[in-house]
């Protein structure tokens, strides 16, 4: 594992060329990259294969929310591509989460992570979609479903990390988007935010860093500052 093993760099680009340019600039500073809907739609699975062939781990952020058969089929394809982590929406329910976990068994390197509540939602946003209990209660509810289904971990905001670490098994992955890196105060679409250092201190296994690194004037310096903030340098 490189020094950046707890950090996932989000390649939020609409073309593969600038994304792979960032990967080249960062070199051994980062070993895990997030491919989300934007880049996957633009470049297709070829960009995932390119990263895997370069020795990088891929966090494929699909937020799968479909019937169990469709989700299981997608997870099997992720395994065949060499993906290391894939997200399934916890709100899809126990049957979907269990189907994803079962499908991942064929490729032991593939970890299924249950997305709890996206970081752009707050209590009022959940009420709007018919969930009146608030973020903390919903995150706790979905984390319980994910744990019972055998998911390898969760995706949740910096604000819920400490509670989730206490709730989930010690080996569970807790992956955190919406955390800022030193020098970047913009949270953009995230409303439940924190810092990368705070998330790791609270028990996160990984933090996702995005435009604060990839759009920085010097991405390598931005990653090094973030690694220092999480105590890895």
Q: Which domain holds residue 175?
A: 7-229
Say how many domains are in the chain.
Answer: 1
Model pTM greater than 0.85? yes
Residue 18 lies in a domain: yes
Question: Around 219, how many Cα atoms within 13 Å sit in the side-chain half-sphere?
Answer: 22
Choose the weakest-confidence range: 4-8, 26-30, 137-141, 194-198: 4-8
- Domain with 215 in it: what CATH number? 3.20.20.70
pLDDT of residue 67: 98
Residue 125 lies in a domain: yes
pLDDT of residue 12: 95
Q: Which long-range contacts (CB under 8 A, 24 or more apart) does 123-126 make?
A: 125/191
Whether 57 is catalytic is: no
3, pLDDT greater than 50? no
Catalytic pick among 34, 56, 57, 63: 63
Residue 114 lies in a domain: yes
Residue 210 lies in a domain: yes
Residue 2 lies in a domain: no
Question: CA 34 to CA 86: how far, in whole Å?
Answer: 10
Distance of CA 32 to the CA centre of its chain: 10
pLDDT of residue 186: 58
Average per-residue pLDDT for the chain: 94
Reported confidence tier of residue 232, pLDDT bands at 50, 70, 90: low
Question: CA 197 to CA 205: how far, in whole Å?
Answer: 11
Residue 1 lies in a domain: no
Report helix, strand or coil for 193. Answer: coil
């Amino acid at each position: 594992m490189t020094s950046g093993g707890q950090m996932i760099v989000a390649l939020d680009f609409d073309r593969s060329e600038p994304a792979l340019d960032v990967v080249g600039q960062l070199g051994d500073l980062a070993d895990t990259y997030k491919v989300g809907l934007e880049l996957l739609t633009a470049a297709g699975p070829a960009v995932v294969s390119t990263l895997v062939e370069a020795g990088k781990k891929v966090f494929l952020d699909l937020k799968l929310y479909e019937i169990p058969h469709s989700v299981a089929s997608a997870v099997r394809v992720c395994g065949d591509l060499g993906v290391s982590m894939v997200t399934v929406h916890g709100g899809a329910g126990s049957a979907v989460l269990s189907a994803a976990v079962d499908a991942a068994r064929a490729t032991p390197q593939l970890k299924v992570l249950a997305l709890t509540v996206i970081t752009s939602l707050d209590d009022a946003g959940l009420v709007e979609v018919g969930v009146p209990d608030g973020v903390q209660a919903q995150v706790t509810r979905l984390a319980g479903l994910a744990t019972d289904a055998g998911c390898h971990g969760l995706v949740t905001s910096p604000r819920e990390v400490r509670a989730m670490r206490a709730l989930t098994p010690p080996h569970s992955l807790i992956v955190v988007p919406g955390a800022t890196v030193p020098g970047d105060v913009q949270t953009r679409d995230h409303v439940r935010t924190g810092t990368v250092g705070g998330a790791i201190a609270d028990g996160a296994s990984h933090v996702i860093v995005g435009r604060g690194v990839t759009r920085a004037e010097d991405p390598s310096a931005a990653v090094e500052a973030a690694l220092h903030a999480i105590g890895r340098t």
